[in-house]
Structure 1
Amino acid sequence: MRIALVANAYHPDIGGVETHVRRLCAGLTAAGDDVEVITQGATRSVDSVDGVLVRRFPLTVPAGNFRLSVPLWRWLSAHAEEYDILHAHSYHALAALCAALGNRAPLVFTPHYHGTGHSRFRAALHPLYRPLGRTIMTRAGAVVCVTGAERDLVLRDFPMVGDRAVVIPNGTDPRPSASPVPSPVRRILCVGRLEHYKRVDRVIRAMAHLGPDHRLDVVGTGPAAAQLRQLAARLGLAGQVVFHGRLDDAAFTACLAQASAAVSASAHEAFGMTVADALAAGLPTVAAPIPAHREVARLAGDGIWLRFTDPEDETALAAALSEAAATARTCPATLPSWGDVVGATRELYAAVAGRPVPAGAVGR
């Protein structure tokens, strides 16, 4: 099949949606599909990333939270019907709206829906955007939610998609097995895009309650990075909180091998990849008690070490982090693989496009 995945941003940008789209592209390509990514950037370009053709269109509105490329919309209006499927991602970005308007190509939509904005201003705009969001939901032949919790949110706000909303959980990354690296320092891993709603600031404040034998490794970039660095310095934790920025797969695998525990304090997630990847590595994990994290825990089953802790209580969070870091790794949790995700997604594409499922190897 010829498939175009439409996203607000793509690798090397970091984030849950970017990771989801990249892993999906890898699996679809391995299965023999002709895959392109349609996304936005500072300038127009066409290049290859991991064997996938990536078309980037210049931003008309470069504002961080409201990025919009009119050239992307115009290109899709002219070329969308050359694809068997358009697969648009993220309700919380305008690229998906560009994919829904001005063409009649079969559309699949993965909203990665949180039910609100991630700041007071964006939360206030959320109800005003809903009619446009409803346009995408109505236009889509299928709406893919990554958890039942996300599907419940989608149906709460867009009940008309009830017969088209399906759940396909995110996969976990296969990584080379690596034995934990012995160290006198207990390293706690915090991974994700550095946005305020991820509440990394609460984790940093909790670190002030732990001794110098504990270290926080923050992996990721984002608009809150400078403020988080300033907070760590102000609390006297500059040497105890290490900001790694963006890491390639090999560097991240090494960081994972050195970790004693992992944490996600996020207030909103459609799935919770950080928690899933940590449990798949057998890492004791501390997480905010949001519905998506609880659903990942149910998928992971028995035998995992996971503590739900309110990140607003920094003393309780510090105690949970200390306990997690002192606990030995468990057996890796068995969670859905990206091969499972790709297989289910290809079946959905075929149903929406009205054609047989193409043969091909799935996943990687």
Structure 2
Amino acid sequence: MRIALVCNAYHPDIGGVETHVRRLCAGLTAAGDDVEVITQGATRSVETVDGVLVRRFPLTVPAGNYRLSVPLWRWLRAHAAEYDVLHAHSYHALAALCAALGNRAPLVFTPHYHGTGHSRFRAALHPLYRPLGRTIMARAGAVVCVTAAERDLVLRHFPAVGERAVVIPNGTDPRPSTPAPRSAVRRILCVGRLEQYKRVDRVIRAMAHAGPEHRLDVVGTGPAAGQLRQLAARLGLAGRVVFHGRLDDDAFAACLSQASAAVSASAHEAFGMAVADALAAGLPTVAAPIPAHREVARLAGAGDEARPAASGDEARLRFADPEDEVALAEALREAAASGRTRPAVLPTWTDVVGATREIYAAVAGRPVSVGAVGR
């Protein structure tokens, strides 16, 4: 099949959606599909990234949270019929609206839906955008949610989607089991785009209560990076909170291998890829008790409730309220001291690609070949 994945941003930009799309592209290409990425950027460009053709269209509106490329919409209006399927990503970005309007190509939509905006202003705009969001949902032949919790939220706000809403959990990259690092310093890994709703500031504040032997490794970039650096300096934690920015796969793997624990304090997630990747690496993890994280815990066999320090599966995941920095610090200390566990068995990206290709075939009305993707 010839497939166009439409997204707000793409590699080397990082984030949950960007990772999801990149892994899909790799798997679809391996399965023999003809894959293109249609996305936005500062300037128009066409390049090949990891064997995938990436078309970037210049931004008409460059504002960080409201990026819009009219040339992208015009391209799809003129060329959408050349693809068997358009797969649009993220309700919270306008590129998906461009994919839904002005063409009749079969459409699959993965909303990565949080149900609200991530600032007071964006939250206020969210109900006003909902009629446009309803247009995307109505156009889509399938709406792919990454957790049952996300599907429930989508159906609460868009009940007409009905049985077109399906769940395909995000995948993880299987990693070899590694022994706990031998170091007096216990490194805690925090991965994600640096946005306010990720609540990395709460993790930094908790580090002030965690003891000098603990270090926080923050991996990611985003608009809150400057404020977070200032906060760490103001709390006297500049040497214990290290901002790595964007890391390539090898550098991230090295960072992961040296970690004693991982943390995600995010207030909103459709899935929680940072938590899933940490559990798949056998890394004790502390997470905010949001529905998506609880569902990842169930997928990983780590249960649904916060547990005290223990061995085996019960030590994998602890829930802690990020608004209570003392309790969060205690959970981080326990996790970092507990040692690595057996890596959790979670869906892989091969599983995700196989299930997604079946959705494409159903929406496009075409048979799907197995190709290089295992089942």
TM category (shorter chain) comes to over 0.9
| CA offsets 1:122-176 (integer angstroms, 9 cap, x no match) | 0000000000000000000000000000000000000000110000000001335
Aligned counterparts of 1:177 and 1:32: Cα–Cα separation in 2: 31
State the secondary structure of the residue aligned to 1:117. coil
- Counterpart among 340, 351, 355 of residue 362 in structure 2: 351
- Give TM-score, length-normalised by structure 1: 0.99
State the secondary structure of the residue aligned to 2:194. coil
Aligned counterparts of 1:148 and 1:347: Cα–Cα separation in 2: 19
Aligned counterparts of 1:25 and 1:62: Cα–Cα separation in 2: 26
Q: Could you tell me which residue of structure 2 aligns to residue 57 of structure 1?
A: 57
Quote how far apart the aligned CAs of 1:358 are.
2.1
Q: Return 5+ residue gaps in structure 1 as ranges.
A: none
Q: Could you tell me which residue of structure 1 aligns to residue 189 of structure 2?
A: 189
State the secondary structure of the residue aligned to 2:163. coil
| CA offsets 1:230-253 (integer angstroms, 9 cap, x no match) | 000000000000000000000000
Q: Could you tell me which residue of structure 2 aligns to residue 306 of structure 1?
A: 317
**Identity rate of aligned residues, in percent?**
88
- Counterpart among 315, 319, 330 of residue 319 in structure 1: 330
Q: Could you tell me which residue of structure 2 aligns to residue 156 of structure 1?
A: 156
| CA offsets 1:185-231 (integer angstroms, 9 cap, x no match) | 00000000000000000000000012221000000000000000000
| CA offsets 1:320-359 (integer angstroms, 9 cap, x no match) | 0000000011100000000000000000100000011123
Q: Could you tell me which residue of structure 1 aligns to residue 14 of structure 2?
A: 14
Aligned counterparts of 1:208 and 1:253: Cα–Cα separation in 2: 27
Change (3 A) 1:363 1:120: farther
Matched, 1:3 2:14: no
Aligned counterparts of 1:359 and 1:164: Cα–Cα separation in 2: 23
Runs of 4+ deviating beyond 2 Å:
174-181
Quote how far apart the aligned CAs of 1:75 are.
0.3
Q: Could you tell me which residue of structure 2 aligns to residue 342 of structure 1?
A: 353
Q: Could you tell me which residue of structure 1 aligns to residue 307 of structure 2?
A: none
Q: Return 5+ residue gaps in structure 2 as ranges.
A: 303-312
| CA offsets 1:73-110 (integer angstroms, 9 cap, x no match) | 00000000100000000000000000000001000000
State the secondary structure of the residue aligned to 2:151. helix
1:30-41 alignment runs, 5 A limit: 30-41=30-41
Change (3 A) 1:124 1:46: same
Q: How many residues align?
A: 364
- Give TM-score, length-normalised by structure 2: 0.96
CA RMSD in angstroms, aligned pairs only: 1.1
Matched, 1:332 2:332: no
Which residue identity is paired with 2:344?
A
Aligned counterparts of 1:34 and 1:178: Cα–Cα separation in 2: 36
Q: Could you tell me which residue of structure 1 aligns to residue 89 of structure 2?
A: 89
1:99-114 alignment runs, 5 A limit: 99-114=99-114
Which residue identity is paired with 2:101?
L
Q: Could you tell me which residue of structure 2 aligns to residue 250 of structure 1?
A: 250
State the secondary structure of the residue aligned to 2:215. strand
